[in-house]
Structure 1
Amino acid sequence: MEWIRTSSVFKALEEHIRDISKMSVASWMATSLDFVVFTILHRLFSLPIPTSTALGSLVGAMLHFTVCRFWVFRTMKHSFAEAVWRYIIVVGGALVLHSTATTLLAKYLIPLEELAWLISKNTVFLCWVYPGTKYHVFGKRNRSKRSKSSQPSQGDRQDSTRKP
């Protein structure tokens, strides 16, 4: 049964679950900061919903990029400048989508602005931010490549589990 733990399918699944979990933590941190900024700007400073949403999203995005680059994906596949540019594209799209959706939801469907914000935020995350960040900005992490000679063959795996 040892070969199950070392199989490439199990390792890929384990890596995917780890990345999703870490990205969820990074997103939760960024979204929490985003929400606090949105609420302070809208409630305390009476800024309009689109402005409060946009500024909150920008502050959250800076935290999210930093945490994703250095903790979640730990990848240097793209240069820092290229990763920032790619992230700006993803976040710029999210900013427009989130600001527009929050405004429309609050104006026409949901009278409580915070609930409109929350629904918009989750929808944009699931449909735009997560796939864009994982695949466009940071790409797949480069796995260390072992030579074929260092990997046991199928026969070697079976032989190593036999008892003498």
Structure 2
Amino acid sequence: MKKGIFILTAIVWIVLIYLAQILAYALNTLSNSNDKQKIFSDITQLFIPPAKHPISTIFKFVSEQNTVFFVIGGIATIICIYILIKQLFENKDGNEKNQDYKIAKHGSHGSAKFAEDSELFSEGHYKKMKENDITNYVYNSLDKSLIEERSEEK
């Protein structure tokens, strides 16, 4: 389970860094460009180059010490570390408020449990019967004249 948490957190972190470098590239291009009209006429040039070449873009930002990338990447890293610590150190087994604990411990919701046959079919409770016996019992208990009356009315 812990291996899965590490892998999932790593995937989330990689996606967040990928999005961070695209955003940092777009903001860097907008702030350094003199011809804003040209950029807004073809908005794809803000997002396509970093999306196609994320590793080279990240290395460029690190070498240039791009503040926007470091801030967004730092926030993404802090969020992923928080999620990882929260998942690793959360004690699910002893947490009475956790609904997953209640369901997993008893196999059902709340404090209910599955009854044994000896509990259900003891004297004064339910009786075990075959399906055919129940069907015959229901048909025999019906008032046949009432059924015939109602079928004739239709």
Q: Same fold (TM over 0.5)?
A: no
The normalised TM-score by structure 1 is 0.30
| Structure number with bigger Rg | 2
Counting helix residues as a fraction of each chain, which structure ranks higher?
1
TM-score by length of 2: 0.32
